[in-house]
Amino acid sequence: MNVLAIGAHPDDIELGCGGALLRHVAVGDKVTMLVMTTGERGPQDSVSRVLEQENAAARIGAELIWGGFPDGAIPHSRETVTFIDSVIDAVGAQVLYTHGQHDTHQDHVATALCSLSAARRLNRVLCYQSPSATAFNPVVYVDVEETIKGKLDALACHRSQVERCELVDLEAVEAGARFWGHQARMRYAEAFEVPRFVWDITGGEAAVRRVESSAVAADERADRQRLGVIDGDQNGAPRPVPVYLVGGRRP
C-alpha cells in the first residue's frame, strides 16, 4: 500500500501521525512524507530544520518530498492543489494523512484544505491533530503502543523545536497518545478525523475467515455423522454453523 502524509512544516507529520506511519512501514507499506515548507521562520535557521526533517524521515523509514512553499504563506490556491495532486499521482497514494482544518496556524489550514481538494478521488483520507488545533473530533484511532517510542525518537530528531518550541513537548505528546488510547480502549493511540474512510474487511489478519471456518464446520459435521451423532439440538433443529475470528477459540 502506498501512503502519503502531508505536513505544513518539519515535525508536523511526526506530531500528528508518526506512530501510524511506523505501523505502515512495519507491514511493508511504502510511506512518503510531503513537507510543504522548510519552517524557515521558526526559532532556528532553515538548514537545521531541513537536516532534522531528513533524519526524522529516515528514522521512520519514509521517503521525503519538499513542497518549496514559503513558511507562513502557503496559499490556498489552485496552484497548491495542483502541486499536491501531482505528488499523489507520482507516489500512487492510496491513503492520505493531512492536517485537520480547524487550526490557528494559517499554513495548517491551507495545507488541510488544499490536501482535501487534491485527494478528492481517494477513499481513505485521515486528518490528524496539531498542537495549535482549535477543534478536533476524531472517530478513527490507530493503536501505537508498539510504535510510540519510535514516534518520540523521530520527534527528537527535531532538536531545534524540542529545545525552543513549547508546542513540541515530548512528554505532552506521550500523554496525548495515552489520552487517545484511553478513549479508544487501548494503551496508546493516535486519533483522526475522517472525511472519507473505506474499511476493507475482506483482507488482513483481522478479517473473519469465513471459508476456513466453514471448512472446519463441515469436517466436524462429517465426524459427528460417522460417530452417529445427530447434528442438531434436542428438538432436531440444525445448529448454526459457527464463524470464528482469527485468534479466537472454538466454543
CA dist list (Å): 48 to 5, 43, 71, 249: 21, 11, 15, 53
C-alpha cell at 218: 463441515
Mean of the pLDDT values across residues 202-215? 49
29, pLDDT greater than 50: yes
191 vs 130: CA distance, rounded Å? 11
C-alpha cell at 234: 434436542
pLDDT tens profile 152-185? 999 999 877 765 666 668 888 999 999 999 999 9
CB of 64 closer than 8 Å to CB of 57: yes
- pLDDT score for 125: 97
Mean of per-residue pLDDT scores for the chain: 84
If you compute the radius of gyration of the chain from its CA atoms, what whole number of angstroms results? 23
CA 143 to centroid of chain Cα atoms: 10
- pLDDT score for 13: 97
98 vs 85: CA distance, rounded Å? 13
Look at the domain 2-197 and name its fold.
Rossmann fold (3.40.50)
* E-only strand ranges, 39-146: 63-66, 95-99, 124-128, 140-143
For the chain, give the longest Cα–Cα distance: 82
Domain boundaries, the chain: 2-197, 205-251
228, pLDDT greater than 70: no
- Secondary structure of residue 176 in the 3-state scheme: helix
Sign of CA dihedral 179, 185, 191, 192: negative
122 vs 230: CA distance, rounded Å? 52
Q: In percent, how much of the chain has pLDDT > 70? A: 75
